[in-house]
Structure 1
Amino acid sequence: MKRIFSISFSFAALYLLIACNKQTKTEAMPAIINTGMFKTYLALGDSYTIGQSVNESERFPAQTVSLLKLDSINFNAPEYIAVTGWTTRNLLNAIAATPPSKSTYDFVTLLIGVNNQYQGRSQTEYAAEFTELLSKAIQFAGNRPGRVAVLSIPDWGVTPFANGRDRNEIAKQVDAFNAINKQITLDKAVKYIDITPSSRMAATDASLVAVDGLHPSGKEYQKWAAMLAPVIKAAL
Structure 2
Amino acid sequence: MRKIIYFFSIFVLLMSFGCENNDDQILIVDDIPIVDQKKEYKILSLGDSYTIGESVCETCRFPEQLKDSLSITFKKDTTFSLQVIAKTGWTTTNLINTIEQKNITDDFDLVTLLIGVNNQFQNKNFSIYEQEFPELIATSIRAANNTKANVIVVSIPDYAFTPFGRGSASISTGIDKYNEFAKSYCDQNGITFVNITDITRQGLTNPNLVASDGLHPSELAYTKFVERILPLAIEKLKD
The verdict on a shared fold, with TM-score over 0.5 as the criterion, is yes
The answer to whether 1:191 aligns with 2:192 is yes
Aligned counterpart, 1:116: 119
Deviation, 1:162, is 1.8
Distance (Å, rounded) in 2 between the aligned partners of 1:75 and 1:185: 29
Secondary structure at the residue paired with 1:40? strand
Aligned counterpart, 1:79: 83
Aligned counterpart, 1:94: 98
Alpha-carbon distance change, 39 to 229 in structure 1, aligned in 2, over 3 angstroms:
same
TM-score (norm 2): 0.80
Unpaired runs of 5+ in structure 1? Answer: 1-35
Distance (Å, rounded) in 2 between the aligned partners of 1:171 and 1:93: 28
**Alpha-carbon contact 2:71-2:80 (below 8 Å) kept:** no
Aligned runs of 1:225-236 on 2, under 5 Å? 225-236=226-237
Runs of 4+ in 1 over 6 A off after TM superposition: none
Aligned counterpart, 2:171: 170
Aligned counterpart, 1:12: none
The letter for the 1-side match of 2:177 is A
Unpaired runs of 5+ in structure 2? Answer: 1-37
Distance (Å, rounded) in 1 between the aligned partners of 2:161 and 2:79: 34
Alpha-carbon distance change, 75 to 43 in structure 1, aligned in 2, over 3 angstroms:
farther
Alpha-carbon distance change, 193 to 75 in structure 1, aligned in 2, over 3 angstroms:
farther
The letter for the 1-side match of 2:61 is R
Deviation, 1:75, is 4.3
Alpha-carbon distance change, 86 to 151 in structure 1, aligned in 2, over 3 angstroms:
same
* 1:77-110 deviation line (CA, Å, top 9, x unaligned): 310110000000000000111222x321000000
Q: Calculate the aligned-residue CA RMSD, in Å.
A: 1.3
Greater strand share, structure number: 2
The answer to whether 1:46 aligns with 2:48 is yes
Alpha-carbon distance change, 68 to 194 in structure 1, aligned in 2, over 3 angstroms:
same
Greater helix share, structure number: 1
Match 2:39 to one of 18, 37, 40: 37
* 1:131-150 deviation line (CA, Å, top 9, x unaligned): 00011001100111110000
Aligned counterpart, 2:217: 216
| Larger Rg, first or second structure (1 or 2) | 1
Distance (Å, rounded) in 1 between the aligned partners of 2:191 and 2:197: 18
Distance (Å, rounded) in 2 between the aligned partners of 1:209 and 1:99: 34
Alpha-carbon distance change, 162 to 137 in structure 1, aligned in 2, over 3 angstroms:
same
